[in-house]
Amino acid sequence: MSINLSEEQIESVLKGTHIPPQPQIMVDLQMEQAMQNSSLERISELISQDVGLSGKVLKTVNSPLYGLSNKITSINQAVNLMGSDSVINLVNALSIRGELSNDDIIALGSFWDNAMEIAMACSTIAKQIGYSSPDEAYSLGLFHNCGVPLLTMRFDDYPTIIKESYSRENVTITDVENELIQTNHAVVGYYVAKSWNLPSYISVAIHQHHHAESVINNDNEDSKKRTLLAILKIAEHICGNHRDLGNQDVDYEWQNIKDSILLYVGLSEYDYESLCSQLTDMGIGDSSLSL
């Protein structure tokens, strides 16, 4: 049974870190809300395409207001638990405070598109390798770079900094950010994920996603987190994350970790190429991105 939340309760949930929702998604949600035959399934589908909205929905449903014993990572399950009235209250509250300048929209354009594509790829890869919870893989793909828009709004030159971080062949991406701005998008994303009440292994995976090889090669690490990170790194490469965010033709990070990643999930070179083709047929990624 869903719990209807008041505007005051929604406002309480919204306090703290705020990633602005994608403007077009907000327009689509407002239009869906205005329709007489408004569909909760369609609302869930739209919300799952946006990092900020998905995070707020999960933060709400995982809050003490719902008293759930296990934290939820599925956007669709969260929306259904909240019900249409509470979801609409949340969307309306975000639409009021989510106004962006044209410069902000342009700066974040590639981030939104990239996050959605990687999330879809993660879900597909999870199914392909037999991981038990594609929803978790989707959530990690959607949220793993959630620190990027916050740093983009905080530092005027952050788009240049992230490109610089992807251009270094033998230096970890987050280490370059630490050098230039004394923080990085992975650690910011970790605190955002914690504030959204995401499961701890997903929050920590966000924190560690640019140190994936050391996690995956450590048998003492949680196997669920190791598998999610492996899925994420494959999805990032296939979706061209290095080009979309880093403006680089070569994925240096993938070159350094690909052998460990593919060995861990049990994918041969042939399996990988088949996976690329499958995702391309779905309109995801670019099959020209080779090992």
Which domains, and CATH codes, for the chain?
7-97 (no CATH), 102-281 (1.10.3210.10)
Least confident of 96-100, 184-188, 234-238, 284-288: 96-100
Which pLDDT tens digit goes with each residue over 198-219? 889 999 999 999 999 999 999 9
For residue 235, the model assigns a pLDDT of 96
Which pLDDT tens digit goes with each residue over 31-40? 787 777 778 8
| CA proximity to 115, closest of 137, 135, 136, 145 | 145
Highest mean pLDDT among 25-39, 80-94, 238-252: 238-252
For residue 85, the model assigns a pLDDT of 76
**Global pTM value:** 0.77
Is pLDDT at 97 greater than 70 in this prediction? no
Distance CA 60, CA 197 (A): 8
